[in-house]
Amino acid sequence: MDLGAFSVSLAVKDLAVSKAFYEKLGFQTFGETEPHGYLIMKNNDILIGLFQGMFEGNILTFNPGWDQSAQDLESFDDVRDIQKALVSQGVDLSQSADETSSGPASLMLQDPDGNTILIDQHR
């Protein structure tokens, strides 16, 4: 199962303060998303998302169909196929993708310790 690009989505209190902090660690803004209340930042192949007021807690995020630079991959495992594989293994989902759809979709689940995992396909 190929889950695509990986990032950590962090719930932050103050986007500007968090941005300044992560810039000190060598991260740079990746894309123009700040006006929407979030930032994607990159340091080499490491991606983090900073999200102010959008969700509680931190999320492990996977993006099928993208590489670590948000470039489209030629082939990838569709989120609906990933969902079928997870369900067939007895994994409970907290949010499911519509299996009758195609294109962008997402699903969510929690690991045994309650950490949220988002599998978010953008294409």
* DSSP-H helix ranges across the chain: 15-24, 79-88
Interval 18-43: pLDDT, tens: 999 999 999 999 877 767 789 999 99
Interval 39-97: pLDDT, tens: 999 999 999 999 999 999 999 999 999 999 999 999 999 999 999 999 999 999 999 99
Predicted TM-score of the model (pTM): 0.88
- Listed in sequence order, the residues at least 6 apart from 67 whose beta carbon sits closer than 8 Å to its beta carbon are 4, 5, 73
| 8 touches 49 (CB < 8 A) | yes
Match domain 5-121 to its CATH number in 3.40.50.2300, 3.10.180.10, 1.10.10.10, 3.90.1150.10. 3.10.180.10
Given a cut of 80, whether residue 13 has pLDDT beyond it is: yes
